A and B are shown apart, each in its own frame.
Chain A
């Protein structure tokens, strides 16, 4: 059913699992998943809480469309106070775990406290219990999933877990489900590790039911699927080439951050692109094996690849010779262009290590980029790092990934993220981050709207809070000029609010390359009780964004945190269409605050709060 109306509350300190009814009044105001779980979170957690303390909570939440026949309806989110950022975190993942959680009859799980010893949560429909995880602690994500499936004697159990990085306090550790899908950003896995919670294993056989109007819902879902199938982007472009097709696009546009944002174009971009993944290698095979879909997805953008067995990274390591998840664009950029590494096989190896041991390849790759710049400046030495680490070193990338996964040597420094790393070595300005979270793959000098997106993202620098690339680069829904700041305040707000709705519904944001809210609305209205009009959805999206902002403000974030590193404001792009340009963030920020109904300090005005019922 749209909402199962049931929450599982797990007190890790005393090992108790309790069932609670879902607050249906809040569901009408915050929909589900990101919005509804964030409402629970901000209502229960002190904004000043130490993210790694037992007082922080961690919520795994589905949306009302999760597990239904809606296309891409398999999403779930993890909400907590981020270990990397200290801001509210919401990391969204696909795969099959979210739908299984819904099939077991749960809208969300709220974890609180800290277990005195490693445990994992086992859910089989109504039955939920904490089990000893001593034998899982120290295991990778992949090992953990295999052991749990074997222990439960059930290959269909779905597992979400942390790897060794989450245990070791890597501040950008994520939570991985179905081996390759990740609630990846902001350090939600580090929070899970701090609670001695290794994994959640779910088996659900209750299915979905109780939709408000099943016939209308199936009609709306079918119509929306046709929109995806008929759209050239979601029907053909994404399944064929995946997100990686952007590598050459963004490079041509002069917005591909390269060598820790020193440059905006990468001379080896083509070597690490979707086109390169599809080519035959010297071994006669292509890197790309096939595409893949998450639960209920009719787009299937995922990549499945195979490393050349002769590549230095996997010599005598047959465990990495099989087909596995990746590369996706953001990871390929962070592990590649951000470090000047143009070795596709090396990028996939580092990506596998990130999946295997559960840490965010964006933050990891960008942190390596910062370390490489510190090395080139002579601030970090070969002795400190343990190897030579100039820009472009594929060997260093692969070694550093393994060191970070194991928590060994310089890997411990890398596990802090670039902001803390650069501060430790006296060059805080070299961290390419906002709110201590590293940028994704778009340079805000060449795509101005993304600078405002990063600066005002509630979870730190992130492309998935308002993907204005869709408009500024791809012309979705309308083409805007990436080189101007004009109109970007309105654009970013519109994307932020709409994204909040998609993230709260249980579907993938990639549907929005073809769907507008008008395609999502009939599905929600038919599935959920209540009157889910376009106006209501727009208000819900804005309410969610402001609620997150209020939490961050109360946590101590101010307007000065809505800013970009000095490099992007003072060092013009050297090449490409943006040559000579810096980010116009200082012009866009006050315009954005005004559009938002926030004061000059970035605080929502009383009028805004009253209008949104906050």
Chain B
């Protein structure tokens, strides 16, 4: 199964060098791989995974261990940030 993984702001340091220019990386995942498993695979600090979106829709912290990624989805994660 293929999914896209995006990391932004300070989290982009956890991406391979070639992926930093787009903030995106294509992932080959086993069926049923959860958001939490991807976070752990890349060694992301839990407290830094503040804003987690799948195809632009928020995934609450309590759902990250059970929400499995599906073919073609995009998982994007930001640390605590704000703007305006």
Contacts and interface: CB of A to CB of B under 8 A. Distances in A.
Most chain A CB inside 10 Å of its own CB: which residue of B9, B12, B53, B76: B9
A467 interface: yes
A254 B51 CA distance: 15
Given A232-B50, A248-B23, A474-B51, A240 B80 contact: no
A245 B60 CA distance: 21
B23 A464 contact: no
Most chain A CB inside 10 Å of its own CB: which residue of B12, B22, B55, B81: B81
A464 B83 CA distance: 11
B16 to A, nearest CB: 15
Q: Interface SS of chain A: helix, strand, loop or mixed? A: helix
Contact of B51 (A467, A475, A576): A475
A437 to B, nearest CB: 17
B82 A479 contact: no
A244 B8 CA distance: 12
Contacts of B56: 252-254, 576-577
Contacts, number: 95
Interface string B30-74: 000000000000000001001101011110100000000000001
B83 A329 contact: yes
Contacts of B8: 245, 248-249, 275
Contacts of A249: 8, 51, 78, 81, 83
Contact of B82 (A254, A474, A481): A474
A557 interface: no
B23 A270 contact: yes
Contacts of B60: 479
A237 B81 contact: yes
Nearest to B58: A479
A434 interface: no
B82 A470 contact: yes
A237 B80 contact: yes
A275 B23 contact: yes
Nearest to A440: B84
A248 B10 CA distance: 13
Nearest to A234: B82
B22 A270 contact: yes
Contact of A252 (B12, B76, B79, B81): B76
Contact of B84 (A234, A236, A463): A463
Contacts of A475: 50-51, 58
A401 interface: no
For chain B, give the interface size range: 20 to 34
Nearest to B48: A232
Contacts of B51: 249, 473-475
Nearest to A514: B82
A242 interface: yes
Contact of A237 (B22, B47, B55, B79): B79
Contacts of B21: 279
A491 to B, nearest CB: 16
B82 to A, nearest CB: 5
Interface in A265-293: 270, 274-275, 279
A243 interface: yes
A119 B83 CA distance: 37
Nearest to A250: B83
A446 to B, nearest CB: 8
A208 interface: no
A243 B79 contact: no
B23 to A, nearest CB: 6
Contacts of B50: 232, 475
Nearest to B12: A275
A577 B78 CA distance: 18
A512 B55 CA distance: 28
B59 to A, nearest CB: 11
Interface string A219-232: 00000000000011
A246 interface: yes
Nearest to A446: B56
B43 to A, nearest CB: 19
Contact of A240 (B10, B53, B55, B83): B10
A55 interface: no
A336 B10 CA distance: 23
B79 A246 contact: no
B10 to A, nearest CB: 6
A335 interface: no
A453 to B, nearest CB: 12
Contacts of B79: 232, 236-237
A242 B53 contact: no
Contacts of B80: 231-233, 236-237
A266 to B, nearest CB: 13
Given A270-B22, A275-B23, A246 B57 contact: no
A232 B50 CA distance: 10
A330 interface: yes
A410 interface: no
A512 to B, nearest CB: 10
Contacts of B78: 245, 249
Contacts of A577: 55-57
A246 B23 contact: no
Contact of A275 (B9, B57, B83): B9
Most chain A CB inside 10 Å of its own CB: which residue of B21, B47, B50, B58: B58
A557 to B, nearest CB: 25
Nearest to A255: B56
Contacts of A509: 84
Given A246-B83, A509-B84, A577-B55, 8 more contacts: A232-B50, A232-B80, A233-B82, A241-B81, A243-B82, A252-B74, A476-B82, A513-B82
14 contacts: A233-B80, A237-B80, A243-B82, A246-B82, A249-B78, A249-B81, A253-B53, A254-B56, A463-B84, A474-B82, A479-B58, A510-B82, A510-B84, A577-B55
Q: What 10 pairs between A and B have smallest CB-CB spacing?
A: A232-B80, A243-B83, A246-B83, A237-B81, A577-B56, A245-B81, A253-B56, A513-B82, A329-B83, A233-B82
